Amino acid sequence: MRNLKLIKRNTEEILTEEDLRVMLESGEKLNTILGFEISGKPHLGHGLVCMSKVKDFVDAGAEVSIFLADYHSWINNKLGGDMAIIQKIGVPFFKEALIAAYKCVGGNPKDLKFVLGSELYHNNDLYADCN
């Protein structure tokens, strides 16, 4: 099964392979999330390794969401712990670097969906507003 081989390629573990096989055989839509803390400059690990795996998932028919963890970056004092810098400079830079890397491994950027952590927490009273 080609899609199973793509998903398993360069993957450390799958929970569980039998469940994945059933999902693929049934035609169930697969969704996957890959998350990044915006901690500075993207590197080869982000680009070629991670985006190659993203391409495997897309080629196997999965919908991929790239989670850009701007709140995690703020909490962990990355880029000076300044949310304005993280969102105005870090997020666009990181996003464009990942798109460029995805193109390098033969992917179509239209395959990618980017989600910010702050979008998930927006207007949620359980989380403090850090802006």
- Domain residue extents for the chain: 2-121
Indicate the pLDDT class of residue 1, thresholds 50, 70 and 90: confident
Three-class SS of residue 27? coil
Express each pLDDT in 104-130 by its tens digit: 999 999 999 999 888 877 665 555 555
User: Is residue 38 within 8 Å of 79, Cβ to Cβ?
Assistant: yes
Express each pLDDT in 72-88 by its tens digit: 889 999 889 998 999 88
User: Is residue 14 within 8 Å of 20, Cβ to Cβ?
Assistant: yes
Express each pLDDT in 12-57 by its tens digit: 888 788 988 899 899 889 998 888 888 877 777 778 889 999 999 9
The H-or-E segment that residue 6 falls in is helix 2-8
Radius of gyration for the alpha carbons in the chain, expressed in angstroms and rounded: 16
CATH 3.40.50.620 fits 2-121, yes or no: yes
